Each structure stands twice: as C-alpha cells, then as structure tokens.
Amino acid sequence: MERTFLAIFALTASTISLGAEEIAPTAVTFVDGSIETSLTGMPGDPVKGRDIVSDKSLGNCVACHEVTDLADVPFHGNIGPMLDGAGERWSEAELRGIVANAKIMFEDSMMPSFYKTEGFIRPGNAYTGKAADETFGPLLSAQQIEDVVAYLVTLTEY
C-alpha cells in the first residue's frame, strides 16, 4: 500500500512540472557535498522526518544507522555511523547534501543516494526484481528530504 503510494508520488514528482520552488533531482547544485537551499523552498517537518528515518518502506535509515532518539524502533543496523549528534557535527546544508547524495560528501559510500534518478546500473522497479519503468523516481521526494534534514538537525546530543 505504502509502496504504491510512493510509486504514484514518484511519477508525479518526475513527470509533471514541479511546484515553482521545487528543485528536480537532476538540477541540484552541490557545493563541497552540501546543498545550500531547501529543495522545496519550504521548511521540513521534523516529526514527519522522524517517521521517514524509521520506516522500512520510506528512508529506512535505521537499517544502517543507530539513533538513540529512535530507541522505540526495533533493530538498528550498524553499517554507518551512529547519528546521535549529527545535527552538531554537520550544518543543515551538509546534511541535505548527505541525504540527497552521500557519495558526493563520502566517496564510494555504501549509503544510497536518496534524491537521484540517473546513472544507475540495472535499476529495478522498487523491490520486484523487474526493470524500472516510467514510475521510476527518487527514493525520497524533495519534501521528504527536507523533513529528514529537519529531523537530523534536532539530533544535537551525543
């Protein structure tokens, strides 16, 4: 159900012209791995961001990162660094760059690029194992990226 919703969303985001402020995945400017301005021109919602970070069918960031604030969510992975204090270590612009495309900040990182639509080898249609079709869009929408960034900014404690 959530997947279907996401797929429909992705279609909307990639094919229909975007709201005036929204920056498309292919039009993002990175400066030293950071993205200076909001992708939507609107502030993110840290409460929604918290859900996206935890939810298996959305960001699923806890698959690889441990976050003490999300102790209520079971099974955190330890592929990436613990995110406690991320809002202290990184600026908002840096966090936006890392979430959108971590491979620019961290060369060859295993972290997926959440706001990217091109340059994949054998891209699939979500988790079906079939080839990508016209519904293919970024892993997270521009607003979802902003929500995640808004949440990460709150992680100032170690």
Partner 1 sequence: MRKLTGALLASAIAATPVMADPVDDTLILNEEITLVTRTEAPEHVADVLGEIISGWHFRGTETRAMQADDFDNPGMIFVEQAEEVWNTAEGSEGKSCASCHGASEDMAGVRPVYPKWNEAAGEVRTLEMQINDCRENQMGADKWKYTGGDMVNMTALIASVSRGMPVNVAIDGPAQSTWEAGKELYYTRTGQLEMACSSCHEANYGNMIRADHLSQGHINGFPTYRLKNTKLNAVHARFKGCVRDTRAETFSPGSPEFVALELYVASRGNGLAVEGPSVRN
Which residues are paired to 131 by β-bridges? 124
32 binds partner 1 (CB under 8 A): no
111 binds ligand HEC (CB under 6 A): yes
Q: Give the torsion through C-alpha atoms of 47, 52, 55, 60, to 10 deg.
A: -140
Partner from partner 1, ligand HEC, none contacting 81, C-beta within 5 to 8 A by type: ligand HEC
The angle formed by the CA atoms of residues 87, 41 and 34, to the nearest 5 degrees, is 45
Residue 13 CA to residue 81 CA, distance in Å, equals 31
Part of the chain binding partner 1 (CB under 8 A), chosen from 19-27, 29-37, 60-68, 146-154: 60-68
Part of the chain binding ligand HEC (CB under 6 A), chosen from 25-33, 38-46, 77-85, 121-129: 77-85
Structural tokens at position 37: 């301005």
Partner from ligand HEC, partner 1, none contacting 74, C-beta within 5 to 8 A by type: partner 1
Q: Is 7 helix (H, G, I), strand (E, B) or coil?
A: helix
Residues that bind ligand HEC (CB under 6 A): 53, 59-61, 63-65, 79-81, 83, 86, 89, 95, 98-99, 102, 106, 109-112, 114, 148, 152
